[in-house]
Structure 1
Amino acid sequence: MVENLKTPATLKRVFVIEDDAATRESIAMSFEFTFSDVEVLQFDRAAGVRQSLEEEAPDLITVDLGLPDGDGLGLIREIRTISDVPILVVSARDDDSTLVAAIRLGADAFLIKPVSLVAIQAHVEAVLRLQDRPARNTESDLIIELASCTVDLGRGMVEVNGVEESLTKTELYFLTTLGSVSGRIVPMEDLKTGVWGDPDVADATVKMAVHRLRQKIGDDNTEHPIIVNHRSVGYSLAER
């Protein structure tokens, strides 16, 4: 039996949009194990989602990108025209362009198939813990101005001294997670879950990722760093 996660918020209704029946049932089961009174509505295609969204008002949606009647990215775009509901992408696609596109369109997290029940639970917890942040950023707010560089989350690029360089998936997740909470501290466990999908990932893995990201964004000011390490607590982002 899977132990229920301690979540900062409760879910009353979830939409699971997935054309594979076994995967859809597995995702639905992860919510039913975690939230005792949750109602899970399952869809095997994009058709009907918009109307149900307007009528049912879910607290969270999972979206597969390979739907039989359209691209899941298009569905995310459509959802964002009418709702700010958290969106968790669960997809077999693992290329950088798809990841960036999903984030730019408004997805809150991205899991690559096959995914475990525990990984889904952990990502849902991380998304919910960030739901007390200010209202969702507009497209222009996908640009983060830092002391040494400009980060374009939508394009997955960083510009330092006029030179652009692409961000890796891990770096993009890291900066998106820190940037979404307006300089507040992201606890280490939430950071590990949101970026790596595993709250038990080694601290050394996080430190190495931060070290490489600091090199990429020119974060070499030890007295006033851009990525601030709050010892034994977590990290925050010092915006300009």
Structure 2
Amino acid sequence: MPGEKILLVDDEAEIVELISLYLKKEGYEVLCSNNGAEALEMAKEHRPDLVILDISLPGMDGIEVCRQLRKSFSTPILFLSCKSDDMDIILGFSIGGDDYITKPFSPGQLVARVKAHLRRSHLMEQHKEDSQHLYFPGLEVDLISRTVKVDSVIAPLSSKEFDLLLHLAKSPGKVLPLEQLYKMTWGVDSNGDTRTLLVHISNLRKKIETNPAEPRYVQTVRGVGYKFNG
């Protein structure tokens, strides 16, 4: 939506200039910072609708900036990084990041992801007043009766399948690592054995997806975990 504020935090001037150019063409207001401390102050003052955050910042790195932001903001946070190692990606998601984009990247793809996260954020705001239901295209989750409707037809979910879907659907677009999702659902650590989770995800997809092999809602993020596409 034109006019939305995006906080861009990166110490590489060329990248800041390039991203700003593409975002401004889409009508966004872009606030720029090249360090973590300043970025936190700008976030408090301007309350951006989305944050694009480089991990490798001088001084306070992007991971710590994200941790601090998450104490006060639910704003979508998109990490930028030259690192593509799975552990770095998992760390980024586990401390509150919503997406992870590896440098070099396509500016057009970045803008597309920004739009997607803002769209999901708006949907969540629209339905925030109705705390008893979650609504998505073709899918309704009733938190009181613990039922799920797919195209207005009740899907026969087990208790754990419902819990898994609920954890994912409460944060559309946010990636939940396997270990975190397991602990949220079963209340204990998986001790490295997540086969139970994988089986439940497979069964859940069979019940809510038109084509479980190409899921629309519960999507796999390779090497990390799962996210819900609302």
The TM tier, using the shorter chain, reads 0.5 to 0.7
Matched, 1:236 2:220: no
Secondary structure at the counterpart of residue 63 of structure 1? strand
Q: In the aligned structure 2, how far is the partner of 1:225 from the partner of 1:154? A: 20
Cα 1:227/1:19, change in 2 over 3 Å: farther
Secondary structure at the counterpart of residue 83 of structure 1? coil
| Residue equivalent to 2:152 | none
| Residue equivalent to 2:75 | 85
Q: In the aligned structure 2, how far is the partner of 1:67 from the partner of 1:61? A: 14
Q: What percent of counterpart residues are identical?
A: 22
Q: In the aligned structure 2, how far is the partner of 1:13 from the partner of 1:219? A: 36
Aligned AA (1:92):
C
Cα 1:60/1:217, change in 2 over 3 Å: same
1:113 to 103, 121, 132: 103
Secondary structure at the counterpart of residue 85 of structure 1? coil
Task: Kindly report which structure 2 residues correspond to 1:1-240, keeping only aligned pairs within 5 A, or say none.
Answer: 9-35=1-27, 38-131=28-121, 132-133=123-124, 145-146=160-161, 154-157=176-179, 164=192, 216-217=198-199, 225=206, 228-229=209-210, 235-237=216-218
Cα 1:10/1:75, change in 2 over 3 Å: same
Deviation at 1:165, TM superposition (A): 5.1
**Counterpart contact for 1:101–1:154, Cα < 8 Å:** no
Q: In the aligned structure 2, how far is the partner of 1:120 from the partner of 1:216? A: 30
CA deviations on 1:12-36 (whole Å, 9 max, x unpaired) are 221110011111111111211222x
Secondary structure at the counterpart of residue 110 of structure 1? strand
CA deviations on 1:94-141 (whole Å, 9 max, x unpaired) are 111221221122211111000111111111121122111366xxxxxx
Q: In the aligned structure 2, how far is the partner of 1:59 from the partner of 1:219? A: 31
CA RMSD of aligned residues (A): 3.8
Cα 1:76/1:11, change in 2 over 3 Å: farther
More deviation in 95-104 or 105-114? 95-104
Q: In the aligned structure 2, how far is the partner of 1:164 from the partner of 1:146? A: 20
- Structure-1-length-normalised TM-score: 0.59
Secondary structure at the counterpart of residue 235 of structure 1? coil
Aligned residue pairs total 172
Cα 1:165/1:31, change in 2 over 3 Å: farther
Secondary structure at the counterpart of residue 47 of structure 1? helix
- Structure-2-length-normalised TM-score: 0.61
**Counterpart contact for 2:49–2:118, Cα < 8 Å:** no
Deviation at 1:166, TM superposition (A): 6.9
Q: Which runs of 5+ in 1 are unaligned?
A: 1-8, 136-143, 168-214
